[in-house]
């Protein structure tokens, strides 16, 4: 006898076609090497004691009271969930009595280990009552007394299927609806073909004498079994063991199970056969004394029974708390785990008002609690609520506006001079678009003039020890304009000296004219105009990233200028991330401000590609995939009309997790199409219906991580709810 502890990982998460393919492989297994076997499934209320203990240990290991407070609230919530008993854990075993199977045969099962034969949760002596078994203790005088500290149990056995089965019905539902400890035993015996022939003849005779009204059904089943070549015939019995410490409660559960199972199977109470039936839960291959009620099935039936082994899960206790899974098949407390140097880039999507902003800020705060530095860029002013949640401690809050913010676009943020020149050219293109209609595109003469002027602007400074180290030393736009004028004079002079070289003359005149024109334009707007107080001054943004929580509030920046301020801020953050590596999460809300210019989206993609090396994760937030890849066939009508689709696609392909709150129906199904094997049509429908009823309201989300998706309720802790609701 060999015993395998097995499971079908996430079977309920794959689509119906893949499920059918797996079931097809199982059918061939039962028709081939699988002989007499037994499935055992243990269902117990999930004990959250270990999870509560681990999260408490994590909280007590944090010295700061403000960080420990939220984790202790989470510990108390876990204790409350444990008392409700709504979560269950399952363990599944396959017993092979003929020693015919190996782990290679179980290709579609994840074989955890070869354990000893599973011990049922009913050790000790039992006395048989007519409808249940009661635990007993032997008294000193040799008599017996009831032991009320242990479980009583009652057994039921199937004797006829009444409807078509699939892997969810009825066994998976019985598991998920179990209101107490239960064990399901499925005993499978392969029937020899000669017995099938004899059975067909027997039932044909019974039909002719008309004495048994079930004879026709049995005869048709036997005749059908004779015609099937690629499946075997099995004698299958399904038994249920219900455990309870109260005999009244036990009898009520037995009756409830009988009633709920009637549409799929007939179930016997086994009155007087409790002890005999219990032997089928033990190691005996063929226990005697059982009543003869049974049914014959083809290989497809036990294969379908095995599908329930995709039900249940072990509770993960590490990572950042998200909320409660609302999946009917495997409810659990959900955590997003960031392990070591593994990438942790993510995307958060969802319509306005569905919980996206609150959820993102709650996740940000939970990361701060566990020592991750969080940097948040957002344009609605909601970060003020996160500031209130932190009480202002270990928090840097930056409200950007024309009145308060000084932004020098010449700040050096790249080690390489060529990259720095490209960076400034991008910022100049945004700056010289004061109405925010179309970013400025420079011709070759203008690019040459800008790059030459930048060379002269930075020439008197040490690149690494001055310009990269201290942005207070960075020359201003006024200096840059003087250098542009100098370039214009130089190029004009050179053109006069080389008048015989027609090509040089044309080039020199173009660059000189471009430099003079740019100097006049920049000076009029940003050196002597009303923008000068903002753009012709040393930068005053806190880009040193010293605090645990760094907030950038762009709500006072005119919408047309947000791409410029977003990009300049992110470039400074990127510079600090590379100079001072540590575990960081950079959250960018309303990422569509970065897709209005293709070069900005390319910059975003490069951050996703490279910052993991420096311990950082990028988390991008917007309403829909449209912000990254547009809407196919409708880019002209999209917010993302000019975006770099290749960069957006690169970002989506390199994020480790995705969270989607309520979405429009077409957006939800577009998301399911993008993550075809992970986000299923049922998840898309869940997202599309968000807010239509109490079950699918605000705060409900689909989390895609680790190759699968879960439906969750992004449940807030009390303090989070007090401070963040309404943002």
pLDDT of 169 reads 80
* 571 has pLDDT over 90: yes
Closest CA to 58 of 80, 77, 75: 75
Cβ proximity of 539 and 406 under 8 Å: yes
Rounded distance between C-alpha atoms, residue 605 and residue 654, angstroms: 9
- pLDDT, one tens digit per residue, over 110-168 is 887 777 778 776 778 899 999 999 999 988 787 889 998 889 999 999 877 776 777 77
Of the listed ranges 38-52, 452-466, 529-543, the least confidently predicted one is 38-52
High-pLDDT (> 90) share of the chain, %: 45
Lowest pLDDT segment from 530-534, 573-577, 689-693: 689-693
**Residues β-bridged to residue 585:** 374, 617
* Length reported for the chain: 727
Residue 40 exposed, middle or buried by CB count within 10 Å (0-12, 13-18, 19+) = buried
User: Residue 314 pLDDT more than 60?
Assistant: yes
Which three-class secondary structure state does DSSP give residue 523?
A: helix
**Chain Cα centroid distance, residue 555:** 30
Indicate if the pLDDT at residue 213 is higher than 90: no
Q: Among residues of the chain, what percentage have pLDDT more than 70?
A: 92
In SS3 terms, 45-66 reads as: ECCCHHHHHHHHHHHHCCCCHH
3-state SS of 536-588? CCCCCCCCCCCCCEEEEECCCCCHHHHHHHHHHHHHHHHHHHHHCCCCEEEEE
List, for residues 393-441, the tens digit of each pLDDT value.
899 999 999 999 999 999 999 999 999 999 999 999 999 988 877 778 8
Residue with tokens 């009583």: 152
Q: Are 107 and 25 in contact (CB under 8 A)?
A: yes
Two tokens, residue 353: 């008002």
pLDDT for the residue numbered 495: 52
- With 0-12 / 13-18 / 19 or more C-beta atoms within 10 angstroms meaning exposed / middle / buried, residue 334 is buried
Longest dimension (CA), the chain: 127
Choice between 453 and 224, residue whose per-residue pLDDT is larger: 453
Cα dihedral sign for 696, 701, 704, 708? negative
Mean pLDDT within 646-665: 92
Residue 601 CB coordination number (10 Å): 26
Q: How deeply is 164 buried, as exposed, middle or buried, from its count of CB atoms within 10 A (0-12, 13-18, 19+)?
A: exposed
Residue 308 has pLDDT above 50, yes or no: yes
- Helix then strand then coil, in percent of the chain rounded to 5, is 45, 20, 35
Higher-pLDDT residue of 107 and 220 is: 107
**Where residue 293 falls among pLDDT bands split at 50, 70, 90?**
low
pLDDT reading at 636 higher than 50: no
Between 290-294, 334-338, 569-573, the lowest mean confidence (pLDDT) is in 290-294
Please give the Cα distance from 55 to 77 (Å, whole number). Answer: 11
Alpha-carbon distance of 341 to 233, in angstroms, equals: 52
H or E element that contains 373? strand 373-378
Q: In this structure, are strands 182-191 and 37-45 parallel, antiparallel, or unpaired? A: antiparallel
DSSP assigned state of 690:
T
CA distance 182 to 452: 79
Distances 467 to 235, 453, 457, 486, 638 between C-alpha atoms, Å: 81, 16, 11, 22, 40
Q: How far is Cα 665 from Cα 667, in angstroms, rounded to an integer?
A: 5
Residue written as token pair 């009480």: 391
Closest by CA position to 367, among listed 720, 718, 605:
720
Residues sharing a CB contact under 8 Å with residue 350, sequence separation 6 or more, in sequence order: 356, 359, 623, 659, 660, 661, 662, 663, 701
pLDDT digits 0-9 by tens, 540-552: 988 889 999 999 9
Residue 632's contacts (CB-CB under 8 Å, 6 or more residues apart) are none
Strand ranges in 109-253 using DSSP code E only, listed in sequence order: 110-113, 126-128, 133-138, 144-146, 152-161, 182-191, 233-244
What is the reported pLDDT for 26? 87
pLDDT category, 215, cuts 50, 70, 90? Answer: confident
Residue 713 bridge partners (DSSP): 324, 700
Task: Note the pLDDT of residue 379.
Answer: 94
Determine the pLDDT at residue 46.
Answer: 73
Which of 9-13, 189-193, 354-358 is most confident?
354-358
Bridging pattern class, strands 265-268 and 708-713:
unpaired
Cβ(480)–Cβ(454) below 8 Å: yes
* Better-scored residue on pLDDT, 355 or 197: 355
Interval 601-630 mean pLDDT: 92
**Tokens standing for residue 318:** 């590490």
Instruction: Note the pLDDT tens digit of each residue in 664-685.
Output: 999 999 999 998 878 888 888 8
Q: Which residue has the tokens 């539902």?
A: 173
Report the pLDDT value the prediction gives residue 195, as an integer from 0 to 100: 78
Evaluate whether 647 touches 598 at the Cβ level (below 8 Å). yes
Residue 635: Cβ within 10 Å count: 16
In angstroms, rounded to a whole number, what is the distance separating the alpha carbons of residues 83 and 76? Answer: 11
Q: What is the pLDDT of the chain when averaged over all its residues?
A: 85
Give SS3 for 305: helix
Residue 662 has pLDDT above 80, yes or no: yes
Facing residues of 37 across strands?
96, 188
pLDDT for res 507 = 64
Better-predicted residue by pLDDT, 20 or 121: 20
Residue 551, CB-side half-sphere exposure with 13 Å CA sphere: 26
Query: For the residues of 402-469, what is the DSSP string, one character each?
Result: TTT----TT----SSHHHHHHHHHHHHHHHT-TTSSS-----HHHHHHHHHHHHHHHTTS-IIIIITT
User: Other C-beta atoms within 10 Å of 344: how many?
Assistant: 26
Question: Helix 215-227 and helix 193-209: axis angle, to 10°?
Answer: 150
Q: Residues 377, 381, 386, 387: what is their CA dihedral angle, to the nearest 10 degrees?
A: 100
pLDDT of residue 694: 45
Q: What would the mean pLDDT of 278-299 be, rounded to a whole number?
A: 80
Q: Which residue has the higher pLDDT, 232 or 552?
A: 552
Task: Answer whether the bond into residue 170 is a cis peptide, omega within 30°.
Answer: yes
Q: Cβ neighbours of residue 532 under 8 Å, at least 6 residues apart?
A: 526
Token reading at 263: 């549409």
CB neighbour list of residue 719: distance below 8 Å, 6 or more residues apart: 69, 70, 73, 389
């Amino acid at each position: 006898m060999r015993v395998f502890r097995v499971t079908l990982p996430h079977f309920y998460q794959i689509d119906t076609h893949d499920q059918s393919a797996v079931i097809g492989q199982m059918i061939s297994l039962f028709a081939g090497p699988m002989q007499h076997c037994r499935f055992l499934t243990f269902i117990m209320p999930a004990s959250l004691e270990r999870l509560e203990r681990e999260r408490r240990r994590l909280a007590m290991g944090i010295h700061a009271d403000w960080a420990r407070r939220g984790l202790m609230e989470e510990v108390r919530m876990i204790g409350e969930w444990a008392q409700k008993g709504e979560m269950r854990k399952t363990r599944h075993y396959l017993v092979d009595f003929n020693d015919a199977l190996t782990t290679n045969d179980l290709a579609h099962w994840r074989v955890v280990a070869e354990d000893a034969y599973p011990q049922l949760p009913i050790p000790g002596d039992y006395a048989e009552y007519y409808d249940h078994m009661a635990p007993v203790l032997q008294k000193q005088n040799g008599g017996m007394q009831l032991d009320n500290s242990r479980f009583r149990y009652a057994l039921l056995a199937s004797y006829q299927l009444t409807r078509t089965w699939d892997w969810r019905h009825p066994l998976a539902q019985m598991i998920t609806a179990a209101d107490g400890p239960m064990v399901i035993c499925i005993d499978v015996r392969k029937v020899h073909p000669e017995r099938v022939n004899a059975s067909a003849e027997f039932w044909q005779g019974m039909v002719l004498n008309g004495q048994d009204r079930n004879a026709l059904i049995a005869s048709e089943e036997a005749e059908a079994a004779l015609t099937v070549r690629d499946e075997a015939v099995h004698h299958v019995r399904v038994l249920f063991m219900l455990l309870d410490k109260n005999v009244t409660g036990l009898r009520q559960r037995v009756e409830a199970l009988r009633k709920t199972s009637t549409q799929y199977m007939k179930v016997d109470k086994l009155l007087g056969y409790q002890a005999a039936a219990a032997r089928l839960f033990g190691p005996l291959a063929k226990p005697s004394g059982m009543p003869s009620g049974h049914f014959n099935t083809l290989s497809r039936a036990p294969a379908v029974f095995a599908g329930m082994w995709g039900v249940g899960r072990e509770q993960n206790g590490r990572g950042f708390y998200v909320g409660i899974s609302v999946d009917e098949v495997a409810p659990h407390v959900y955590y997003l785990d960031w392990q070591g140097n593994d990438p942790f880039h993510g995307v958060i999507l969802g319509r306005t008002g569905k919980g996206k902003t609150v959820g993102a800020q709650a996740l940000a705060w939970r990361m701060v609690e566990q020592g991750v530095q969080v940097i948040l860029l957002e344009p609605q002013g909601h970060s003020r609520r996160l500031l209130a949640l932190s009480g202002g401690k270990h928090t840097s809050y930056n409200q950007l506006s024309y009145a308060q913010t000084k932004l020098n676009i010449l700040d050096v943020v790249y080690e390489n001079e060529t990259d720095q020149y490209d960076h400034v050219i991008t910022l100049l293109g945004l700056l010289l678009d004061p109405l925010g209609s179309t970013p400025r595109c420079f011709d070759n003469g203008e690019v040459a003039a800008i790059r030459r002027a930048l060379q002269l602007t930075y020439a008197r400074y040490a690149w690494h020890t001055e310009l990269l180290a201290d942005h207070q030393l960075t020359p201003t736009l006024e200096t840059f304009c003087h250098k542009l004028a100098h370039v214009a004079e130089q190029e004009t002079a050179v053109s006069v000296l080389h008048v015989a070289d027609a090509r040089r003359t044309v080039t020199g005149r173009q660059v000189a004219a471009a430099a003079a024109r740019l100097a006049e334009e920049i000076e009029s707007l940003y050196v002597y105009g009303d923008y000068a107080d903002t753009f012709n001054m040393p930068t005053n943004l806190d880009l040193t990233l010293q605090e645990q929580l760094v907030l950038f509030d762009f709500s006072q920046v005119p919408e047309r200028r947000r791409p410029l301020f977003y990009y300049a801020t992110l470039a400074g953050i990127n510079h600090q991330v590379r100079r001072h590596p540590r575990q960081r999460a950079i959250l960018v809300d309303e990422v569509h401000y970065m897709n209005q210019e293709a070069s900005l989206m390319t910059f975003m993609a490069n951050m996703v590609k490279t910052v993991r090396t420096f311990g950082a994760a990028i988390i991008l937030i917007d309403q829909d995939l449209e912000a990254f890849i547009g809407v196919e066939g409708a880019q002209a009508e999209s917010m993302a009309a000019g975006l770099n689709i290749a960069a957006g696609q690169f970002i989506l392909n390199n994020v480790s997790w995705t969270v989607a709150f309520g979405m429009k129906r077409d957006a939800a199904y577009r998301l399911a199409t993008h993550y075809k094997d992970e986000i299923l049509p049922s998840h898309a429908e869940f997202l599309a219906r968000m807010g239509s009823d109490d079950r699918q309201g605000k705060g409900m989300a689909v989390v895609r991580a680790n190759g699968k998706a879960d439906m969750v309720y992004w449940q807030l802790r009390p303090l989070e709810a007090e401070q963040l609701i309404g943002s």
